[in-house]
């Protein structure tokens, strides 16, 4: 079951009469009225009316009739902001409103009409609204608004002291909100930092746990690469040996009968060196060139003649290049 909210006390203040209504959700739960003779009496009247309802009210909303309130529609004022507009009207209150020997409380705001923007302003004698606030405070009521009847809801005619109190309260509220926001931000930053640290520790733990398997995997991969390289080297060696033997066979078939091959060097790229003796070294080079046993054969160094077993021989050295892929 929902608890009923306390009713709101509505006061309508005229020149000498105050009408009071206690309302809950727009419905009147109590009504009364009283007469006052001066602003000094008004504080007691407000306090008595606030204590009269059978259900205690905690909030007060005041509507000022005209008179005692004065309202004006002002035109051709400078296009300033609302706060500056209120100060402008307050500084020239004697120009826009009647004075009866008492200081005035004023307020002003911009309103839009069919022809453009105009200023709606209101004023009331400060002792009158000060008495209302005093009576409300004595009755324990919170004054939510003091506004002239049939005007823009934005107009508020609080006395200067009450405005100062509300401004200080507003500033304190803004300060507390700023401090709360700062504290929330710092708390969130701290929580984020702690969470980040915990996450980093968890990641470091997982990395440490996987370090040994990763190292073993790297070792296996390294051994596999070494084995693969060894197999490739063996395959290359077999292929190279076959090519070397085939080249040697071609060279041996091309050599003249009067020549002997004494050394044969084979490189992995297919190039190499042939050395031997023959009766005529030029015939050996010519025979190898005709047979195309090797690629780009050419003699290296000078031909050396020597005598072996009563015959003259010529030593030769032939180098050849690698075959084109």
CATH number, residue 38: 3.30.420.380
Within-domain flag for 309: yes
**Measured between alpha carbons, how far is 146 from 268 in angstroms, rounded to an integer?**
107
Query: Span 45-56, mean pLDDT?
Result: 87
pTM, two decimals, is: 0.53
Within-domain flag for 200: no
Within-domain flag for 113: yes
| Domain hosting residue 122, numbered range | 8-157
- 153 shares a domain with 58: yes
- 143 shares a domain with 15: yes
- 127 shares a domain with 253: no
Which phi and psi (to 5°) does residue 68 adopt?
-80, -15
- 246 shares a domain with 114: no
Give per-residue pLDDT as tens, 173-232. 888 888 888 888 888 888 888 888 888 888 888 888 887 787 787 887 887 887 777 777
β-strand partners of 162: none
Name which of 131-135, 232-236, 298-302 the model is least confident about. Answer: 232-236
Within-domain flag for 36: yes
What secondary structure letter does DSSP report for 7?
A: P
- 270 shares a domain with 138: no
- 34 shares a domain with 142: yes
Boundary-marking domain end, from 136, 157, 178 = 157
**Measured between alpha carbons, how far is 293 from 248 in angstroms, rounded to an integer?**
8
Within-domain flag for 175: no
Within-domain flag for 198: no
Give per-residue pLDDT as tens, 121-179. 999 999 998 999 998 898 888 998 888 988 887 888 888 888 888 778 888 888 888 88
> Is residue 282 classed as helix, strand or coil in its secondary structure?
helix
CATH number, residue 259: 3.30.1360.100
- 255 shares a domain with 147: no
pLDDT at residue 3, rounded to an integer:
47
**Measured between alpha carbons, how far is 96 from 121 in angstroms, rounded to an integer?**
9
pLDDT at residue 2, rounded to an integer:
42
pLDDT, greater one: 312 or 61: 61
Within-domain flag for 187: no
- 17 shares a domain with 140: yes
**Considering the chain, what is the average pLDDT of its residues?**
84
- 288 shares a domain with 150: no
Query: Span 263-282, mean pLDDT?
Result: 83
Within-domain flag for 285: yes
- 113 shares a domain with 15: yes
Name which of 2-11, 66-75, 83-92, 233-242 the model is least confident about. Answer: 233-242
Boundary-marking domain end, from 101, 128, 157 = 157
Answer yes or no: is pLDDT of 64 > 80.
yes
pLDDT at residue 12, rounded to an integer:
92
Answer yes or no: is pLDDT of 1 > 60.
no
- 12 shares a domain with 153: yes
Reading the block at residue 251, the tokens are 């060279």
pLDDT at residue 235, rounded to an integer:
67
Q: Judging by DSSP bridges, how do beta strands 59-64 and 142-148 pair with one another? A: parallel
pLDDT, greater one: 52 or 324: 52
pLDDT at residue 231, rounded to an integer:
73
Report the number of distinct structural domains present in the chain: 2
Boundary-marking domain end, from 157, 192, 212 = 157
Name which of 3-12, 29-38, 118-127 the model is least confident about. Answer: 3-12
β-strand partners of 304: 315
Phi-psi region of 26 (alpha: psi -120 to 50; beta: other; left: phi over 0): left
Answer yes or no: is pLDDT of 68 > 60.
yes
- 134 shares a domain with 30: yes
């Amino acid at each position: 079951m929902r608890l009923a909210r306390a009713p709101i006390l509505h006061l309508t203040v005229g020149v000498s009469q105050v009408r009071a209504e206690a309302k809950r959700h727009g419905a009147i739960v109590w009504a009364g009225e009283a007469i006052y003779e001066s602003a000094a009496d008004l504080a007691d009247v407000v306090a008595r009316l606030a204590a009269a309802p059978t259900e205690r009210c905690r909030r007060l909303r005041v509507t000022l009739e005209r008179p005692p309130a004065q309202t004006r529609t002002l035109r051709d004022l400078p296009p300033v902001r609302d706060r500056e507009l209120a100060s402008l009207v307050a500084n020239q209150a004697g120009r826009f409103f009647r004075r009866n020997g008492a200081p005035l409380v004023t307020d002003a705001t911009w309103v839009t009409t069919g022809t453009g923007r105009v200023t709606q302003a209101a004023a009331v004698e400060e002792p009158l609204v000060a008495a209302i606030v005093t009576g409300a405070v004595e009755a324990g009521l919170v004054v939510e608004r003091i506004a002239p009847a049939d005007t823009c809801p934005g107009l508020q005619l609080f006395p200067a002291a009450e405005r100062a109190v509300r401004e200080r309260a507003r500033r304190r509220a803004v300060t507390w909100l700023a401090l709360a926001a700062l504290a929330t931000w710092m708390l969130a930053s701290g929580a984020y930092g702690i969470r980040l640290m915990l996450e980093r520790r968890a990641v470091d733990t997982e990395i440490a746990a996987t370090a040994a398997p990763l190292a073993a995997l790297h070792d296996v991969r390294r051994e596999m690469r070494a084995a693969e390289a060894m197999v490739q080297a063996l395959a290359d060696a077999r292929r190279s040996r076959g090519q070397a033997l085939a080249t040697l066979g071609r060279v041996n078939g091309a050599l003249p009968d009067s020549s002997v091959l004494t050394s044969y060097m084979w490189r992995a790229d297919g190039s190499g060196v042939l050395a031997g003796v023959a009766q005529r070294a030029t015939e050996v080079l010519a025979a190898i060139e005709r047979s195309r046993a090797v690629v780009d054969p050419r003699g290296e160094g000078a031909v050396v003649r020597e005598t072996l077993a009563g015959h003259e021989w010529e030593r030769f050295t032939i180098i050849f290049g690698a075959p084109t892929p």
